[in-house]
Amino acid sequence: MYTLLNYRKSTQSFPQSFALGGSDQKKMAVNFKIHYLYILEYINMAHAVTIKDIAKELGVSPSTVSRALKDHPDISPATKQQVRDLVNKLKYKPNAIALSLRSQKTNVISVIVPQIVHHFFSSVISGIEEVAQTNGYNVMIFQSNEKYERELAITQEIESNRAEGVLVSLSKTTKNFQHFRELAEKDFPMVFFDRVCEEIESDKVVVDDFMGAMNATEYLIRTGCRRIAHLAAPQHLLIGYHRKRGYISALEKNGIEVDDTLIVKCDTIEEAYEVVPGLMALEQPPDAILAVNELTAAGAVNALKKLNYKVPAQVSVVGFTDGLVSTVTDPPLTTVSQHGFQIGEKAAAMLLERIRHPDSGKKPSTEVIKTELVVRGTTRPLG
């Protein structure tokens, strides 16, 4: 009987009958041998060893092989050893896809972020991967590119890819949450982080944006600033709303009147180049800027320098997210650290808890991560 084992042995060497005489014939033989070996390699790759192959070689049933691999007590030690020996010889590996179909587990979680390019989100992903891999899970990463339509398509793709759960940070254009509501109605494990949706009852991990903005604004006030502008995120995003509220609360606490002309929607570096010149053209220009993220803050610094303002002697600047950008601006940027890695770790741990204990009855909870002001060169020193 020509079995798989015989087939594999037969492919170890080139048949001697193909060796021809003469120089031209030898060249033909070499070329033929090369093509022959390519074909054999392709066949070997295509014919992955299965439990049925092993069973056929040993003359036993596939179920016997399967139970032997699981060290079942009904299988004799001799048979178990035969199976192990052949498994090693044929380099058999279980089919991960087949196993996942049988167990309904894929050990895959998905992550949806607005843009991976931002240091904050890459830090969060690092934290997620650390927890996931420690617990035997793989991570599938999607980015919405700040587009609602893309985010909608991703949620549908996640279900078809059989992920066991999803971690989500909303795109800034998302105002309709029906796609996430449908996942929640199916009891699909889901945790929101940073940009969260309050309309959906689920676990959440958020930054204390209110206190982060309030503390940063109060620091600017303590350094002598009074005309503090705020480059804000869209207000339908909770991070934008809370940071603006923190900024306003700090002004009110310190008896400084809120000037609406100093509050501008501006959350990209490109918008900063457009908005900052207009702010500095006001009859009473700002002496400080609190930006909603570090890229916008970096854009503000560059725009001020182009206008020949000295940072921080004439205008101080503070951003959010303590990433690489904050350390390479000139001068280095004072910023609010959001501890992205910690957010990722906590969000992943909460999701895995939901996946492992779907019937626990535990009510959704919100974890709040404290911020920290990292003082560098774009703010004046305290008096």
pLDDT digit string, tens, across residues 66-100: 888 878 888 899 999 998 888 888 888 765 545 44
Average pLDDT of span 193-198: 95
The answer to whether the beta carbons of residues 10 and 36 sit under 8 Å apart is: no
Q: What's the one-letter identity of residue 50?
A: T
Distance of alpha carbon 291 from alpha carbon 321, whole angstroms:
10
pLDDT in tens, 293-304: 999 999 999 999
Last-in-domain residue among 80, 99, 118: 99
Instruction: Judge whether 383 lies within some domain.
Output: no
Instruction: Judge whether 135 lies within some domain.
Output: yes
R_g of the chain, CA atoms, integer Å: 31
Distances (CA, A) of 175 to 69, 169, 196, 197, 323: 52, 13, 11, 9, 28
Instruction: Judge whether 375 lies within some domain.
Output: no
Least confident of 9-18, 124-133, 214-223: 9-18
Q: In this predicted structure, what is the pLDDT of residue 157?
A: 87
248 and 183 both lie in a single domain = no
Element (H, E) at 102: helix 96-103
Q: What does the block give as tokens for 135?
A: 């617990």
Q: Which domain holds residue 326?
A: 209-339
Place 18 in a pLDDT band, splitting at 50, 70 and 90.
very low
203 and 352 both lie in a single domain = yes
Instruction: Judge whether 268 lies within some domain.
Output: yes
**What's the CATH code of the domain at 73?**
1.10.260.40
179 and 85 both lie in a single domain = no
Instruction: Judge whether 73 lies within some domain.
Output: yes
Q: In this predicted structure, what is the pLDDT of residue 54?
A: 87
Last-in-domain residue among 99, 121, 151: 99
335 and 235 both lie in a single domain = yes
219 and 278 both lie in a single domain = yes
Last-in-domain residue among 99, 122, 140: 99
Average pLDDT of span 18-43: 44
Give the residue carrying structure tokens 């741990």. 349
266 and 360 both lie in a single domain = no
Instruction: Judge whether 382 lies within some domain.
Output: no
12 and 83 both lie in a single domain = yes
Instruction: Judge whether 374 lies within some domain.
Output: no
Interior/surface letters 245-276, b for 16+ CB within 10 angstroms, e for the rest: ebbbbbbeeeebeeeeebbbebbbbebbeebb
Q: What does the block give as tokens for 145?
A: 């590119």
Name the domain count of the chain: 3
283 and 192 both lie in a single domain = no
214 and 356 both lie in a single domain = no
236 and 329 both lie in a single domain = yes
Q: How many CB atoms lie within 10 A of CB 305?
A: 13
242 and 326 both lie in a single domain = yes
Distance of alpha carbon 233 from alpha carbon 295, whole angstroms:
12
Average pLDDT of span 175-202: 94
Pick the closest to residue 352 from 125, 155, 139 (CA basis).
Answer: 139
59 and 156 both lie in a single domain = no
Place 47 in a pLDDT band, splitting at 50, 70 and 90.
low
Helix 51-58 vs helix 77-90: crossing angle, to nearest 10:
120
**What's the CATH code of the domain at 151?**
3.40.50.2300
Return the SS3 of 303. Answer: helix
